Amino acid sequence: MTLPLDEFDALPDGLAGVDPRSVRSVFPNSALIRLEGRRKAPLALSVLLHGNEPVGLSVLQRLQVWMKTHPLPRSLIVFVGNVHAAEAGVRKLPGRPDYNRIWKGGAEPEHDLAARVLAAFDAAAPFAHIDLHNNTGANPHYSCVHNDREDTRQLASFFSPLAMYTHNPPSMFSNSRADVIPAITAECGQAGEAAGEDAAFEAVMAALHLDHFRGAADRELTVYDVTGRIEVADDASLAFEHGVKADLELPAKLESWNFFDRPEGSTFARRLSGRQVLTVYDDARNDVTDRFFKVEGDRVILTRTATPAMLTVDEAAIRNDCLGYLMERRG
């Protein structure tokens, strides 16, 4: 089976009136949009890789309004991703690959779609790439970056003063592009938040108006190294309030810890059944749980100070992806 990839040379007329659940009225399938601007090397955008993360759709709608009274300063090439998941209101369709995990090859139709998109992007020779996402949990706005180059740091600084440095997973879109051009994932807060939509649009505008990367960030950038990815066993039961029977009890306020240091010796969770259901992996998928956690009675305790990110109490997100990440500030 070959997945369709529609092509457009303008933003569709009906775009202004759609939300993610009705996006297939203008984009029936995944799509490539090419818009001609004054500078030929395009800015590359990717939107709706996750169907329940609509910030990229909002940016396209704002861009369409802006273009009615302004010439486009730089060309654009846009990939509109998982419109079927958007129609269903989910991150990805059940049993199908995650559209932000398909960019390093594979045997599924989605991997073939990704290869065609990458070929189109390479032919267009983009100036830079921004992948627009929302978070499931409460987080400040931040970028995911994949190298220390100054052009990447400058691009990230357009969006937020915070960045997460990670090489994992290698199959995420921005990570797959980072050796080719400046590429970031912009994590724009929770879906529907106006502040996240504003920040995303402003970052895209800044990149569109940039003549060249000058080798310095536009503002001070605080970068964190990802030191661990926290995963929960597939068969583990979860609770987010005291007194509920489950394998693992997590605090209801868990998301408020994101991007704040959690001190050594603090309780992270409670292991109620005695089972080992919480595992931390490094970038090489080595089990490094003992580097971060110890168990005293039923308490899972941090053995070192760490900064969490992307912690969520959304159980579907935990099971489809992970509980969150542990980070340390980059020196």
Q: 76 falls in which pLDDT band (50, 70, 90)?
A: very high
* Residue 258 in this model has a pLDDT that exceeds 80: yes
Which SS3 state, helix, strand or coil, does residue 226 take? strand
Out of 28-42, 121-135, 209-223, 299-313, least confident range: 209-223
Give the residue-averaged pLDDT of 36-44.
97
Higher pLDDT, 129 or 285: 129
Amino acid (one-letter) located at 140: P
State the Cα–Cα distance between residues 300 and 278, nearest whole angstrom: 9
Please calculate the CA angle 117-121-123 and round it to the nearest 5 degrees: 115
Q: Is residue 322 a contact partner of residue 229, using CB atoms and an 8 Å limit?
A: yes
- Domain 6-220: top CATH class: alpha beta
Looking at residue 216, its pLDDT comes to 61
Confidence of residue 317 (pLDDT cuts 50, 70, 90): confident
Return the ∠ at Cα 87 (arms to 132 and 164), rounded to 5°. 20
CA angle (302, 145, 36) in 5-degree steps: 150
Work out whether strand 142-145 and strand 128-135 pair parallel, antiparallel, or are unpaired: unpaired
Q: How far apart are CA 300 and CA 298, in angstroms?
A: 7
Question: Could you tell me the two tokens for 181?
Answer: 């051009």
Predicted structure pTM score: 0.88
Q: Looking at the chain, which residues constitute the CATH 3.40.630.10 domain(s)?
A: 6-220
Q: Quick one: pLDDT band at residue 217, thresholds 50, 70, 90?
A: low
